[in-house]
């Protein structure tokens, strides 16, 4: 991306939230911080009339309350905000299980049992034959949660910013990115200094503090590992961060 500093559309303020991974208490606290920030911005003379909140995916797994996170996102929307919900690699592994895809053993190794427990499904049902586990998840997963997961998008654009869960493959036009890369990529994206056409805002790769770089902004700050849950705030040319521990 060349020219002037990147910005979001005039009159818009965007909040992007990193990977929540079943940490419902931190997500609730971050929602409160966002509402407080909106009030402070208004009192300071902000002219933003359009408020957008982009969730970068990985709502489930590892943390104690995957079901509670989805309940919050579905039933407790931030008032006056346009919500954008993106797909994470953990979210799609749940869908692949209930859709009867290949046995997602990588999901089991990456926090699935915490998600199963939050829905009252016995993780002991996991076996070489996934039929019993799949049937139990289908029976316990609320229809509203399944609809939510199936509605998730792979990317979103606001002005000079491109949002995706994991990142993008350098050298491939943004409109032509492969969905698997948007969900899973780390290298060669993380070390790339190439101009991607827009600044890429992503989660997926945990870091202690947000990585605020020229070509990308990483905001998975490891809430489920004892870190904070982070929101990036974009307004005009400004970038700043909010945190909930």
Question: What DSSP designation does 191 have?
Answer: T
pLDDT at 2: 56
Put simply, whether the predicted model's pTM sits higher than 0.95 gets the answer yes
How many C-beta atoms surround the C-beta of residue 138 within 10 A? 14
pLDDT at 39: 95
pLDDT at residue 106 is higher than 90:
no
Q: What's the rounded mean pLDDT across residues 81-93?
A: 97
Burial tier of 43 (Cβ tally within 10 Å: 0-12, 13-18, 19+) = exposed
pLDDT at 11: 97
Q: Could you read off the pLDDT of 170-191 as tens digits, one per residue?
A: 999 999 999 999 999 999 999 9
Nearest-angstrom CA–CA distance, 28 and 240: 20
Nearest-angstrom CA–CA distance, 59 and 160: 25
How many C-beta atoms surround the C-beta of residue 194 within 10 A? 11
Nearest-angstrom CA–CA distance, 181 and 194: 17
Nearest-angstrom CA–CA distance, 67 and 120: 10
β-strand partners of 86: 153
pLDDT at 133: 93
For all residues of the chain together, what is the average pLDDT? 96
Q: Which domains are delineated in the chain? A: 12-95+152-244 (3.60.21.10)
Burial tier of 45 (Cβ tally within 10 Å: 0-12, 13-18, 19+) = exposed
């Amino acid at each position: 991306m060349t020219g002037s500093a990147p910005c979001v559309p005039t009159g818009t303020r965007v909040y992007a939230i990193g990977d929540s991974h079943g940490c419902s208490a931190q997500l609730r606290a971050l929602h409160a911080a966002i509402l407080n920030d909106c009030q402070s911005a208004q009192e300071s003379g902000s002219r933003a009339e359009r408020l957008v909140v982009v969730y970068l995916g990985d709502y489930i797994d590892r943390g104690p309350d995957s079901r509670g996170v989805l309940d919050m996102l579905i039933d407790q929307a931030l008032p006056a905000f346009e919500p954008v919900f993106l797909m994470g690699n953990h979210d799609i592994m749940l869908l692949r299980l209930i859709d009867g895809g290949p046995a997602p053993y990588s999901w089991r190794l990456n926090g699935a049992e915490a998600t199963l427990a939050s829905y009252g499904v016995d993780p002991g049902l996991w076996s070489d034959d996934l039929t019993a586990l799949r049937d139990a998840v289908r029976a316990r997963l609320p229809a509203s949660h399944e609809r939510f997961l199936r509605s998730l998008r792979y990317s979103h654009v606001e002005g000079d910013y491109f949002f995706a869960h994991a990142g993008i493959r350098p050298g491939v036009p943004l409109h032509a990115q492969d969905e698997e890369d948007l969900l899973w990529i780390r290298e060669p994206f993380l070390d790339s200094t190439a101009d991607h056409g827009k600044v890429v805002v992503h989660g997926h790769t945990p870091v202690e503090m947000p990585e605020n770089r020229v070509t990308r902004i990483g905001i998975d700050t490891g809430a489920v590992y004892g870190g904070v849950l982070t929101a990036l705030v974009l307004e005009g040319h400004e970038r700043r961060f909010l945190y909930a521990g």
